[in-house]
């Protein structure tokens, strides 16, 4: 059995890993929004704006060469384009971000934003829903208890800290590891500080990196990022929306993304749970980490009953440009995967016998 050393295991969590806790993924949230636009009188006034934004997104992706079936319009896409409209109204962004014929179609929405704050109000409704029913539904704490299986996995990885990177805004990891020595980047005054990740001088068993922010992060202009349990205004909520915003040039996003790159290179085993490989910036880092190293292994758990494992493996191999032999697929719900398969012995078997596993004298 392969003996994993410090930094040789990396865990990456996507939205699918929290679904069994009742937390909605991005596509489910979009479906909920579209339903609200149809049945809820308070939401219906946003219908025209929503339809315009969705059509713009589809057109942009089709111009880039995607097919209709490949376009993934999600909550990040929606809020990202709402932010653009708001930024144009506030003269923080040039209107030519929308090129060609879209510009004349956009102008009425800019004018309406000036008079009615329609995009701003729509965005506020979405953010408030994120911090309640969508990401913090009733019983999410109880239903997310399968995340505690990370503790059992860490015990097998004896003596080494477990590095957990997540693309999710929810609090499932923090909630279920709160009794453990977990580093989330915040000091005793709830201020974020990169020095908390000084691995040589800290003694944490788990290090958590929230690559896209968190529903309890608050940041006002020119102020330090804080962890906040109370109400947070939409403009102060420190989460990233939209592909174009994901590579933020300031901390903690820049710091976390750099750490993700470094640990992807170091890792011999990358475990992806609930991630659909639709984010190019994340895919590029994984691809770089696997470049020219055929000994590395990628474990992927996604739940898609419509596809065979071989099809999923081929799609991931094509996206990351790595050999299918380096990929192992578990097509299960997250709770089942955590309970049955998140074991070091299971993953050790994916590696060929090496000299380190042979008896002395062989």
Higher-pLDDT residue of 360, 109: 109
For 334, half-sphere exposure in the C-beta direction (CA atoms, 13 angstrom radius) is 27
pLDDT in tens, 229-263: 888 887 888 886 644 444 455 788 899 999 999 99
pLDDT (0 to 100) of residue 111:
66
pLDDT (0 to 100) of residue 117:
83
Q: Do 98 and 14 sit in the same domain of this protein? A: no
d(CA 86, CA 90): 6
Q: Do 126 and 175 sit in the same domain of this protein? A: no
CB pairs under 8 A, 24+ apart, for 230-237?
232/131, 234/123, 234/124, 234/127, 234/128, 237/127, 237/131, 237/213
Lowest mean pLDDT among 67-76, 139-148, 204-213: 67-76
Of 67, 99, 134, which residue is a domain's last?
Answer: 134
Q: Do 291 and 342 sit in the same domain of this protein? A: yes
4 lies in some domain: no
63 lies in some domain: yes
pLDDT (0 to 100) of residue 246:
46
Q: Do 95 and 129 sit in the same domain of this protein? A: yes
Tally of domains in the chain: 2
- In 3D, which of 245, 301, 293 has the Cα closest to residue 271? 301
- Label residue 360 by pLDDT band (50, 70, 90): very low
Q: Do 16 and 32 sit in the same domain of this protein? A: no
- In 3D, which of 89, 91, 125, 80 has the Cα closest to residue 109? 89
pLDDT in tens, 1-25: 788 999 999 999 999 999 999 999 8
Under the phi-then-psi rule, with left for phi > 0, alpha for psi from -120 to 50, and beta for the rest, what region is 5?
beta
2 lies in some domain: no
339 lies in some domain: yes
Lowest mean pLDDT among 74-83, 271-280, 349-358: 349-358
pLDDT (0 to 100) of residue 282:
93
Lowest mean pLDDT among 55-59, 98-102, 160-164, 283-287: 98-102
The whole-number average pLDDT for the span 314-340 is 96
pLDDT (0 to 100) of residue 182:
97
197 lies in some domain: yes
3 lies in some domain: no
- Label residue 52 by pLDDT band (50, 70, 90): confident
Q: Do 177 and 80 sit in the same domain of this protein? A: no
Taking the model in full, what pTM does it have?
0.88
Packing angle, helices 280-290 and 253-266, rounded to 10: 30
* Domain range for 78: 26-134
The whole-number average pLDDT for the span 121-127 is 90
Q: Do 199 and 93 sit in the same domain of this protein? A: no
Higher-pLDDT residue of 291, 247: 291
Q: Do 148 and 58 sit in the same domain of this protein? A: no
92 lies in some domain: yes
Of 102, 134, 166, which residue is a domain's last?
Answer: 134
362 lies in some domain: no
Q: Do 182 and 63 sit in the same domain of this protein? A: no
pLDDT (0 to 100) of residue 15:
93
The answer to whether residue 134 scores a pLDDT higher than 70 is: yes
Of 111, 134, 157, which residue is a domain's last?
Answer: 134
The answer to whether residue 26 scores a pLDDT higher than 60 is: yes
CATH number, position 314: 3.40.50.1220
Packing angle, helices 47-63 and 118-129, rounded to 10: 90
pLDDT (0 to 100) of residue 27:
85
pLDDT (0 to 100) of residue 128:
87
pLDDT in tens, 182-223: 999 999 999 999 999 999 888 899 999 999 999 999 988 778
Q: Do 294 and 318 sit in the same domain of this protein? A: yes
Q: Do 152 and 274 sit in the same domain of this protein? A: yes
The whole-number average pLDDT for the span 69-74 is 80
pLDDT (0 to 100) of residue 107:
65
Q: Starting from the edge strand earliest in sequence, which strands make up the sheet with 213-218, in order? A: 226-227, 213-218, 237-239
Q: Do 130 and 143 sit in the same domain of this protein? A: no
pLDDT in tens, 269-290: 999 999 999 888 899 999 999 9
């Amino acid at each position: 059995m392969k003996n994993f050393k410090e930094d040789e295991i990396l865990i990456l969590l996507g939205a699918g890993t929290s679904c069994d806790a009742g937390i909605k993924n991005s596509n489910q949230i979009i479906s909920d929004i579209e339903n609200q636009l149809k049945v809820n009188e308070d939401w219906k006034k946003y219908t025209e704006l929503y339809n315009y934004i969705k059509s713009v997104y589809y057109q942009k992706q089709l111009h880039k060469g995607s097919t209709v079936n490949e376009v993934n319009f999600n909550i990040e896409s929606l809020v990202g384009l709402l932010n653009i409209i708001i930024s144009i109204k506030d003269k923080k962004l040039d209107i030519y971000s929308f090129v060609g014929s879209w510009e004349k179609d956009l102008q009425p929405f800019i004018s309406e934003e000036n008079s009615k704050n329609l995009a701003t109000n729509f965005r506020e409704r979405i953010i408030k829903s994120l911090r309640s029913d969508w990401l913090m539904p009733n019983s999410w704490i109880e239903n997310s208890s399968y995340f505690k299986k990370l503790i059992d996995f860490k015990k097998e990885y004896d003596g080494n800290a477990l590095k957990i990177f997540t693309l999710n805004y929810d609090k499932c990891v923090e909630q279920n590891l709160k009794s453990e020595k977990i580093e989330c980047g915040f000091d005793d005054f709830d201020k974020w500080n990169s020095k908390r990740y000084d691995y040589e001088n800290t003694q944490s068993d788990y290090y958590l990196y929230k690559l896209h922010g968190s529903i309890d992060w608050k940041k006002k202009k020119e102020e330090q990022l804080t962890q906040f349990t109370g109400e947070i205004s939409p403009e102060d909520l420190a989460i990233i929306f939209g592909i174009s915003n994901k590579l933020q040039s300031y901390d903690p996003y820049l710091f976390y993304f750099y750490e993700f790159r470094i640990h992807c290179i170091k890792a011999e085993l990358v475990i992806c749970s609930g991630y659909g490989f639709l984010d190019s910036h994340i895919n590029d880092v994984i691809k770089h980490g696997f470049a020219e190293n055929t000994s590395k292994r990628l474990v992927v758990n996604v739940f898609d009953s419509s596809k065979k494992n071989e099809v999923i493996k081929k799609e991931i191999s094509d996206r990351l440009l790595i050999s299918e032999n380096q990929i192992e697929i578990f097509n299960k719900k997250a709770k089942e995967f955590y309970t049955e398969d998140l074991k070091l012995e299971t993953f050790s078997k994916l590696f060929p016998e090496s000299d380190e596993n042979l008896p002395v004298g062989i």
